[in-house]
Structure 1
């Protein structure tokens, strides 16, 4: 069976060889670019009907279908990644995490934002001082319960 890492490596090769963008691939699959990219990088899985489309678009071998449908192991090898972009996201949470927690608790009460019932969008906003990255995280609020 193909591993998630072997699948990711193959997907990246095929994406480059076919000259496709993540938006192209996601459009063909019928899901958001964020979710499809995450699945292609091994952090999510696709349901069979979407896996079939991905395999066809990227001209992947049949064994790739099982790998893209397999439940992922969502782990990180480092406490804080050293890739500058990913590191900056950790920095944002490090600096603003306690503020976000306070504001969420004040607005919603004691609980968490779901990362399961969740969407993530990445957009570009034109700005004369330099284009802006707009990251929108949208997660269902899950209150803690007393028992």
Structure 2
């Protein structure tokens, strides 16, 4: 997976300003995961969000247009090679069908929306080693019968 040039620009500007995604969350009033998805061009910002982001990062206004453009979503057709991203791929390979079965048992035949969706990442202290806690919440969408 190649990273878009704008992503590198945004990440470098964030680093140079000493900002975290949590800091940007306070500035934009949007969740840090969503902001990171804008950085990686998996989501698009409104004009106002893009303006706030560009100002916070000290970038030229020329980047506003790119941040508000329609993104091309997804990692591509290949298996991810980055170890952290691959683990999510692996989790779905191992637990995808069990999750599908349990969701359908509880809700019926349908899917979890990735559009009406939130994703939160938390750090949990643990004496055996800190843990990553990820909470996904998506609206259930039943399949239509016709």
Q: State the TM-score, normalizing by the size of structure 2.
A: 0.94
Contact conserved, 2:118 with 2:138, CA < 8 A, in 1? yes
The corresponding residue for 1:131 is 130
- Where 1:124 maps in the other structure, the secondary structure is strand
Q: How does 1:88-99 map to 2 (within 5 A)?
A: 88-99=87-98
The corresponding residue for 1:13 is 12
Structure 2: where are the runs of 5+ without partners? none
Contact conserved, 2:44 with 2:70, CA < 8 A, in 1? yes
The corresponding residue for 1:24 is 23
**Shift in Å, 1:79:** 2.1
Between 5-14 and 127-136, report the one with greater CA deviation: 5-14
Higher relative contact order, chain-length normalized (CA < 8 Å, sep 6+): 1
- Where 1:61 maps in the other structure, the secondary structure is coil
4+ long deviations beyond 3 Å? none
1:34-64 alpha-carbon deviations (Å, 9 max, x no partner): 0001111111011112111101100111110
- Report how many residues are paired: 144
Give distance in 2, aligned partners of 1:141 and 1:104. Answer: 9
**Shift in Å, 1:90:** 0.7
Q: State the TM-score, normalizing by the size of structure 1.
A: 0.93
**Shift in Å, 1:121:** 0.3
The corresponding residue for 1:68 is 67
Give distance in 1, aligned partners of 2:81 and 2:142. Answer: 33
Structure 1: where are the runs of 5+ without partners? none
Contact conserved, 2:51 with 2:61, CA < 8 A, in 1? no
Contact conserved, 2:112 with 2:138, CA < 8 A, in 1? yes
